[in-house]
Structure 1
Amino acid sequence: MKRIKICRSKCIGCLTCTAACMIAHEDNESRSRIVLDKNGKYNPIFCKECKSPECSFVCPTGAMHKEKDSELIYYDKEKCVSCYMCIMACPYGVLKAGETHHKQIMKCDMCKDTPEHSPRCVAKCPMGAITLEDEV
């Protein structure tokens, strides 16, 4: 199974990954973000695709769920009731409510609905800070 991996030391904070995400989803919001840590280093924030995802455990409708085949966590906006329990439960602070889509959770979907079916952030990162690797 492939997962997005981040090498923080390679990240220069260029935001190409967030732009690629917005373009891939034809949206003005990214499903990931880059923040500065307490030492002033860039810290890309991406879904960790947890083995035991708290976000899906607390979701009362099944909108946030782990697929059995891929073991990736997906979000179904049609089932979501905007309770934001998933946001509160995420131990990494990855999930966020959409700024323009207030009733939508911004969650990485590995660009599964794009023609490439592969994360655009990985393909577009000029520094190679974001990679797609087999989980060990």
Structure 2
Amino acid sequence: MKRVMVHEEWCLGCHLCEYNCAFSNSGLSDMVKALKGKPITPRVHIEESGKIHYAVSCRHCEEPLCIRGCISGALTKDENGVVTINHEKCVGCLSCMLLCPYGCLTTDEGGTVLKCELCIRRGGVPACVEGCPNRAIVFEEVQA
């Protein structure tokens, strides 16, 4: 399965992955209209530890704890191994957030759970990967 991988030694901590992610998931075709003056809600976020920066997003685990703990069945894993969320089914209990050992789930300003779905609706390469100026984030085949 292809997954988003991070080379933290190359990450500049510029946060462009976050902006590209938020724009890609906004449903709008103009980045300025989608993001200017609004709180962004990316599915990837930059963590900093001293001088090291790295992007954190869903790892699409083999046996995802978030799915096991989802009381409404909103989280599922498709035939390609991508963990997705059905926002219609999500009841906002946040059990998935508590169970994720990597801290990869987040919420928007309304409390709706958000997570990386590898830009499957967009097709091709995820927006965070395309927007990384230093190629610190890559989309590559990984053996489980």
TM-score, structure 2 as length reference:
0.86
Other structure's SS at 1:9 match: coil
Q: Which amino acid aligns with 2:132?
A: C
1:2 Cα deviation after fit: 0.7
Contact 1:110 1:117 in 2 (8 A): no
For 1:9, the aligned partner's letter is E
- Determine whether 1:51 maps to 2:58: no
1:21-79, Cα deviation, whole Å (9 max, x unpaired):
01101163101100212x33112111111111000011011101111x11110011100
For residue 20 of structure 1, report the CA deviation from its aligned partner: 0.5
Amino acid at match of 1:121: C
Letter in 1 for 2:134: M
- Count of paired positions: 131
CA RMSD of aligned residues (A): 1.3
Quick one: which amino acid aligns to residue 141 of structure 2? D
- Structure 2 residue 116 is matched with structure 1 residue 101: no
Q: Measure the CA separation in 2 of the matches of 1:63 and 1:44.
A: 25
Which of residues 106, 113, 116 is equivalent to 2:121? 113
**Map of 2:41 onto structure 1:** 29
User: Counterpart of 1:134 in structure 2: which amino acid?
Assistant: E
State TM-score, norm by structure 1: 0.90
Q: Distance in 2 between matches of 1:32 and 1:66?
A: 19
Q: Which amino acid aligns with 1:11?
A: C
Structure 1 residue runs of 5 or longer lacking an equivalent are none
Find the counterpart in structure 2 of residue 40 from structure 1. Answer: 51
* Secondary structure, aligned partner of 2:90: coil
Task: Confirm or deny: 8 A CA contact 1:5 1:133 kept in the other structure.
Answer: yes
CA contact (8 A) 2:46 2:55 kept: yes
Q: Secondary structure at the match of 2:102?
A: coil
Partner of 1:10: 10
Moved over 4 A (4+): none
Range with greater deviation from structure 2 (27-36 or 54-63): 27-36
The whole-number CA distance in structure 2 between the counterparts of 1:3 and 1:43 is 15
The 2-side partners of 1:117 and 1:75 are apart by 19
8 Å contact from structure 2 (residues 7, 54) kept in 1: no
